């Protein structure tokens, strides 16, 4: 007899990308930023722990200073922002606050594979729609009735951004909350922030994990109408963001120049990598994120490309799911890592049977 709730006993856990500690491994599998965060982050952390005193106290439960800073940056009021333990926590809180057991949560797949897991934990009914073949949103998502719809833009793993006009139409067509997961949006040309001023049901999730190089500190934001933020606040842990993460996030947000340069470098490498992969015969979707989703040239399966790269100490992401198994997702690395990746692909291509 299981001690678990039936939905927990039945569900499959989320499988995070591997974090192997192999020396010299070129890690292009989890969309981390290859460059370090602003030097101000380490300096602030050192100052904060110098005499250890902040560690003795509970952290600010509502991250007041960080909230105000993020609100100013995003052009909203502080009561429209919730700070979370990564944007994954924003997603968890949204399921908890907006979707009752047995109620519907709608999203298009392929997308972030955490969505079905969170729906299962909540005991929600998953309404999984197929993305159009060009990775645009299916019309059915607009017609669905659900207390929560989840949209990733730019999407993962495709890298394709949803036009803000489409998201605007989705919010207008939906009665429930539309959560727009903008984990990768800093690498895109536009974002949906203006929709939170127009729609009471628009909720945006942001993270410092990618464009601010702070995946290890776990900082995310929810941005939306005051009433939505108030609801999320009710269901979060009291101390959901630890004191050092708050310090690190404040320092990172304060250094916008570092942020801009970091993002610009990744976008430049993304353009070069996409061009060169195309030249090598790979099909590359135009990416608005810090990764590309690439289809190998004829005579080479994506699985083979993944294993051959792995044998050369280069880790990319491949899924056996039939909807995406003909592509690999490659995180944008440094220029040197990109050169090595391209050399490895040339070598694998030359040796294909």
Chosen residue from 26, 44, 63, 88 binding ligand PMP by CB under 6 A: 88
- My answer on whether omega of the bond before 157 falls inside 30° of 0, hence cis, is yes
User: In this complex, which beta carbon is closest to ligand PMP, that of residue 249 or of residue 294?
Assistant: 249
User: In this complex, which beta carbon is closest to ligand PMP, that of residue 156 or of residue 348?
Assistant: 156
What x/- string results for residues 107 through 136 when contact with ligand PMP is judged by CB under 6 A? Answer: -----x------------------------
Q: How far is the CB of 150 from ligand PMP (least distance, A)?
A: 9
Q: Which residue is nearest to ligand PMP (CB)?
A: 86
Q: How far apart are CA 176 and CA 117, in angstroms?
A: 20
Q: Say whether residue 152 binds ligand PMP (CB under 6 A).
A: yes
Q: What are phi and psi of 224, to 5 degrees?
A: -175, -170
Chosen residue from 148, 167, 183, 188 binding ligand PMP by CB under 6 A: 183
Task: Give the number of residues in contact with ligand PMP, rule: CB under 6 A.
Answer: 12
Chosen residue from 76, 94, 99, 156 binding ligand PMP by CB under 6 A: 156
User: In this complex, which beta carbon is closest to ligand PMP, that of residue 207 or of residue 213?
Assistant: 207
Q: How far is the CB of 108 from ligand PMP (least distance, A)?
A: 13
SS3 at position 277: helix
288-305 per-residue burial string, b: 16 or more CB within 10 A, e: under 16: bbbbbbbbbbeebebeeb
Q: Which DSSP string corresponds to 144-196?
A: ---SEEEEESS-TTT-PPPPHHHHHHHHHH-SSEEEEE-TTGGGSS--STTHH
Chosen residue from 209, 213, 246, 331 binding ligand PMP by CB under 6 A: 209
User: In this complex, which beta carbon is closest to ligand PMP, that of residue 92 or of residue 174?
Assistant: 92
User: In this complex, which beta carbon is closest to ligand PMP, that of residue 86 or of residue 176?
Assistant: 86
Rounded (to 5) percent helix, strand, coil in the chain: 45, 15, 40
Burial tier of 133 (Cβ tally within 10 Å: 0-12, 13-18, 19+): exposed
Stretch that binds ligand PMP, among 72-80, 86-94, 128-136, 345-353 (CB under 6 A): 86-94
Q: At what angle do helices 243-254 and 256-279 cross, to 10 degrees?
A: 80
**C-alpha R_g of the chain:** 21
Q: Say whether residue 32 binds ligand PMP (CB under 6 A).
A: no
Q: How far is CA 298 from CA 151, 212, 269, 284, 303, in A?
A: 32, 37, 25, 14, 13
User: In this complex, which beta carbon is closest to ligand PMP, that of residue 163 or of residue 299?
Assistant: 163
Q: Residues, the chain, total?
A: 353
Q: How far is CA 154 from CA 111, 197, 229, 257, 296, in A?
A: 10, 21, 23, 23, 22
Stretch that binds ligand PMP, among 94-102, 158-166, 207-215, 258-266 (CB under 6 A): 207-215
Q: Say whether residue 331 binds ligand PMP (CB under 6 A).
A: no
Q: Say whether residue 87 binds ligand PMP (CB under 6 A).
A: yes
What x/- string results for residues 264 through 293 when contact with ligand PMP is judged by CB under 6 A? Answer: ------------------------------
Looking only at residues 214 through 253 of this chain, which bind ligand PMP when binding is defined by CB under 6 A? Answer: 215, 220
SS3 at position 135: coil
Q: How far is the CB of 349 from ligand PMP (least distance, A)?
A: 29
Tokens encoding 293: 């989703």
Q: Say whether residue 78 binds ligand PMP (CB under 6 A).
A: no
308 and 353 Cβ atoms separated by less than 8 Å: no
Stretch that binds ligand PMP, among 81-89, 234-242, 324-332, 333-341 (CB under 6 A): 81-89
Tokens encoding 225: 């109408």
293 and 157 Cβ atoms separated by less than 8 Å: yes
Residues binding ligand PMP (CB under 6 A): 86-88, 112, 152, 156, 181, 183, 207, 209, 215, 220
């Amino acid at each position: 007899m299981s001690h678990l709730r039936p939905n927990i006993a039945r569900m499959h856990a989320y499988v995070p990308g591997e974090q192997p500690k192999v020396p010299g491994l070129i890690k292009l599998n989890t969309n981390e930023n290859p460059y370090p965060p602003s030097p101000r982050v380490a300096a602030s952390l050192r100052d904060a722990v110098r005499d250890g005193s902040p560690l003795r106290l509970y952290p600010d439960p509502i991250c007041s200073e960080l909230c105000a800073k993020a609100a100013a940056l995003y052009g909203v009021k502080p009561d429209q922002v919730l700070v979370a333990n990564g944007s994954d926590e924003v997603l968890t809180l949204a399921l908890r606050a907006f979707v009752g057991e047995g109620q519907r949560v709608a999203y298009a797949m392929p997308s972030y594979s955490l969505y079905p897991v969170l729906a299962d934990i909540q005991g929600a009914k998953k309404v999984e729609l197929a993305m159009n073949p060009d990775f645009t949103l299916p019309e059915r998502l607009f017609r669905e009735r659900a207390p929560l719809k989840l949209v990733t833009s730019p999407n993962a793993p495709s890298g394709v951004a949803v036009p803000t006009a489409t998201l605007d139409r989705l919010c207008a067509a939906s009665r429930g909350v539309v959560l727009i997961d903008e984990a990768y949006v800093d690498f895109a040309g536009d974002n949906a922030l203006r929709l939170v001023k127009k729609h009471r049901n628009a909720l945006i999730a942001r993270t410092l994990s990618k464009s601010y190089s702070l995946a290890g500190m776990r900082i995310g934001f929810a941005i939306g109408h005051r009433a939505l933020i108030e609801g999320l606040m009710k269901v979060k842990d009291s101390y959901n963001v630890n004191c050092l993460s708050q310090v690190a996030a404040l320092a990172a947000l304060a250094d916008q120049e570092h942020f801009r340069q970091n993002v610009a470098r990744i976008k430049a490498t993304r353009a070069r990598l996409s061009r060169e992969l195309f030249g090598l015969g790979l099909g590359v979707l135009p990416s608005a994120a810090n990764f590309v989703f690439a289809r190998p040239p004829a005579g080479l399966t994506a699985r083979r490309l993944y294993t051959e790269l792995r044998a050369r100490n280069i880790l990319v992401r491949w899924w056996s799911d039939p909807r995406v198994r003909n592509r690999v997702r490659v995180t944008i690395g440094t220029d040197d890592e990109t050169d090595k990746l391209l050399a490895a692909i040339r070598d694998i291509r030359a040796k294909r049977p």
